[in-house]
Amino acid sequence: MVRTLTLTERAGNPSPARLLAERILPYGMVAPAVVVAAAIAVVPLLYQIWLSFQDWYLLRQPTPAFGGLINFVALFNDGALWSAVLRTWIWTIGTVFVEIAIAVPVALLLNRETAMARTASALILVPWVTPFIVVGFGWRFLLDSDVGAVHFLLETLGIAGTNSVLTDPAGALAAVTFISGWKGAPFMVIALLAALKSIPDELYEAAEADGAGPFARFRHITVPSVWNTVVVVGLVLGILAFYSFDLVWIMTKGGPQDATTIIGISIYKAVFLDLRPAYAAAISVVMLVGLLVASLLVLQLRRV
């Protein structure tokens, strides 16, 4: 009885050392993940900020030297770069617009408890998981002026001429923007499906009983219920598009006549063609600040 009482007392009154260990344990469990995350994200970011203040032109000097604001002065006087910035915003906003335009009707069609809808929901992910190199070369083939099926369709409709739209400075950016949105749309579809399935059926039934039609139910029930999802997922996809490089490089390499040169390609050219890594770092820092401000403004839409 004495031993049982002692154990009970100990169980009800843990020692200070045990309390301290219990408090420290959760932090110890997550510490490795925090360290790895810092090593992957924070350290390169700090190095990039440091590098942006260096004067480092590889053809002139093998190691970086402090240059102050020299890269930022050159950046703000670079007209070609700011043209690329404008194209990048057009590309980013256009990509997200295409993703939403495709995802909303597809998600509404797939929001059914049927075997066909479940199968289609799985297959819809194929463009999202397909590597960029496959998507890029696949669409280049489809838009080829000699054998491309999509080019033949566009030519028949009068949208494209005899040459591929990818070689047309007026249409190349629109083409790659649509393809980028087509590839990212499945992610938006899955997110919207999850949001749609969380809406109680009773809301639609009550609205229908009150005489609300399909459009009224969509406007007053569906849209408010999925709005936050659209904003957050659209923001994530927009950030991915903003710093995109691979798809555009595979399809056009920034051409024709720099018509599809976006920030990712400008940074690549600054490092590997112009051999100015410090200047490329300055571009990245300025674009990061601009993207952060834009992201904060977009998040305000969640309160609308």
Q: Where are the domains of the chain?
A: 2-52, 82-303
Give CA angle at 218 (103, 302), nearest 5°: 70
Tell me the whole-structure pTM to 2 decimals: 0.86
Determine the 3-state secondary structure of 65 from DSSP. Answer: strand
Domain 82-303 has CATH 1.10.3720.10: yes
* pLDDT tens digits along 172-230: 999 999 999 999 999 999 999 999 999 998 998 898 888 889 899 999 999 999 999 99
Residues 6+ apart with CB under 8 A from 68: 53
Assess whether pLDDT exceeds 60 at residue 3. no
297 CB neighbour count, 10 Å cutoff: 9
Rounded to whole angstroms, the Cα distance separating 73 from 71 reads: 5
Assess whether pLDDT exceeds 90 at residue 115. no
Q: What is the crossing angle of helices 132-142 and 149-157, to 10°? A: 50
DSSP secondary structure of 104-132: HHHHHHH-S-SHHHHHHHHHTTHHHHS-H
